[in-house]
Amino acid sequence: MSFDSNKIALFIDGANLYATAKTLGFDIDYKRLLKEFQSRGTLLRAFYYTAIIEDQEYSSIRPLIDWLDYNGYTVVTKATKEFIDASGRRKVKGNMDIELAVDAMELAEHVDQIVLFCLHRPRRAAIQARPRPLRTPGPARAASSRAAIPAAGDRQATTGRRRRLR
């Protein structure tokens, strides 16, 4: 596959990637991440998905969202939902799975590679539902899903070499 025809799209689940990086003890250099994939082909889009709490005067995620938006990422946000669970505790929910999966499926016919950060079961199903072969070199989110993720990508891989990230 030549450089010109290697069209790439990144889909980043911000909350899951942050949790994974924190668990592994490192920070993500988003500028370097963007440059890495720009060097591998034509980066059509780099999506970053995150939920935000709208009622807060200051959100710790806001500076990152603004930086990403200014520096070439397409930031997709959704307001969190608050609720009280069965034990009376206040919970906040902000799942972006559906938005990410729908966007990936809509863009899939226009790209050669979709790179998912961080993949888990609902997104793996979206890859498997894909009508044409697609390269999906995606890093694993957690140890429990490491075996399933490369397997899903392997079933879709048609060209090139994949590197496993451990």
Tokens of 60: 């710790």
Q: What pLDDT is stored for residue 126 in this prediction?
A: 57
Q: Look over the chain and give the mean of its residue pLDDT values, rounded to a whole number.
A: 76
Q: Which residue has the higher pLDDT, 96 or 143?
A: 96
User: What band does 28 get if pLDDT is binned at 50, 70 and 90?
Assistant: very high
Give 112-126 pLDDT, tens digit per residue: 999 988 655 555 555
Helix/strand/coil for 2:
coil
Quick one: average pLDDT of 83-97? 85
Quick one: average pLDDT of 66-84? 92
The residue whose two tokens read 């591998």 is 40
Task: State the Rg of the chain over Cα.
Answer: 17
- Is residue 21's pLDDT more than 70? yes
Q: What is the dihedral of CA 153, 155, 160, 166, to 10 degrees?
A: 30
Q: What pLDDT is stored for residue 5 in this prediction?
A: 74
What are the structural domain ranges in the chain?
A: 7-156
Beta bridge partners of 6: none
- Is residue 41's pLDDT more than 60? yes
Quick one: which H or E segment has residue 81? strand 81-84
> Under a CB-based contact definition with an 8 Å cutoff, are residues 8 and 115 in contact?
yes
Give 94-115 pLDDT, tens digit per residue: 788 888 888 988 998 999 999 9
Q: Cα–Cα distance between 115 and 17 in angstroms, integer?
A: 13
Question: What would be the CATH architecture of the domain defined by 7-156?
Answer: 3-Layer(aba) Sandwich (3.40)
- pTM for this prediction: 0.69
Q: What pLDDT is stored for residue 127 in this prediction?
A: 56
Closest CA relative to residue 137, chosen from 125, 149, 147: 149
Q: Which residue has the higher pLDDT, 143 or 139?
A: 139
